[in-house]
A and B are shown apart, each in its own frame.
Chain A
Amino acid sequence: MNPLGEKYLRKEFLPFLFCPGCGDGMIVQAFLQAVDDLGCIDDLALTAGIGCSAWIGVYMNVDILKVLHGRAIPAAIGLKATQPSRKVVTFTGDGDCLAIGGNHLLHAARRNIDMTVVMVNNQIYAMTGGQVAPSTVVGSKTQTTPYGNIEKQLDGCKIALAAGATMVSRWSTAHLKPLIKTFKNALNHKGFSYIEIMSQCPVQTGRYLLGSGSPQFNLQWLKDHCVKEEDPSRWLEVESQGKIPVGDFLRIEQPEFMEEVQRMNQRVKEEQGKGGDR
């Protein structure tokens, strides 16, 4: 175990349940590096849904709520409401976040709730054996689309941007350095941060979508296909070449939900104190 692992992992849960060469373990390490740089491990509280990616937070020696498939974001909202001093982080997958949990993403982003969503996009339902996900590219053959996927893809970053998230980034496991920096910004961001990470799943995505189960091939695929483009007006062009835009897309400050609730309560109390007839 490397020193970062020695310091922060739950030893009794090892080894990671991830397959050899899976990107999820790289994300565990990148996230812990960001936490170590900030020295904020004691401030964290995590939630996770169901899927391989949902296990990322389980290995960290941090309080975690592991909840129903798709419900990691509402659990995080409840956690933030009751533990406002904690930095709340949700680990979720493309299926967990965009399919069964898609509605929660919309409304947490819209309310600008002070939390970070780490969405691990391997373009498939990996844990259950490689079924089509909303993030799966058109034409892909998966377990549930043996004749090719005919459904259009859903882009989590575009959804988060449209719904009102105040921080949106996408990186990949081939971009660990900028990813760690983005994690640090997200952990310090007051508001809703959506961080998507394109991650290799050699076993399902690799075999079914990309034609190779080799970890090296799958990481190289990400390196070749994820191109830095932070200007949304150029995304169509990037996507038309079969590539995926990555980068830090948005970081702005806007009123945050939990603070607005407090402010409203304060205002109502003051008004009632003045002897209004409510």
Chain B
Amino acid sequence: MKNAEKIEIDRRYCKGCMLCKYICPCDVFEPGQTRSDLDYLMPQPIRIENCRVCGLCESNCPDMVLTVFAKEKRKENQ
């Protein structure tokens, strides 16, 4: 199964619409306390360990601010 290394949210342009939280099938996001440069409260990927790198949050983000980085695949025995 795929996992995420990190989920980046570009604070310059995020408008805190929270559609990522609504879209995500794995309940990764919650509203956070940090404000973006546009002064909106940004989402936080607090349960990133749940992420399956489906890409839905990235492709649905209306401001194209979200990037999901997949963990490099490791060999089974490592």
Contacts and interface: CB of A to CB of B under 8 A. Distances in A.
B62 interface: yes
Interface residues of B, number: 22
A252 interface: no
B62 to A, nearest CB: 3
Contacts of B60: 26, 176
B59 A3 contact: no
Q: For the complex, would chain B's binding face be called helix, strand, loop or mixed by DSSP majority? A: loop
Contacts of B5: none
Contact of A21 (B19, B38, B58): B19
A215 interface: yes
Given A21-B17, A21-B19, A216-B22, A16 B59 contact: no
A23 B60 CA distance: 9
B63 A15 contact: yes
Contact of B64 (A1, A21, A22, A220): A1
B19 A5 contact: no
A3 B17 CA distance: 20
Q: How large is the interface on A (under 10, 10 to 19, 20 to 34, 35 or more residues)?
A: 20 to 34
A173 to B, nearest CB: 8
A15 B61 CA distance: 13
B12 interface: yes
A38 B66 CA distance: 23
A2 interface: yes
Given A1-B12, A1-B64, A216-B19, 11 more contacts: A1-B10, A2-B58, A14-B13, A15-B15, A19-B15, A21-B15, A21-B18, A25-B63, A29-B64, A215-B18, A216-B18
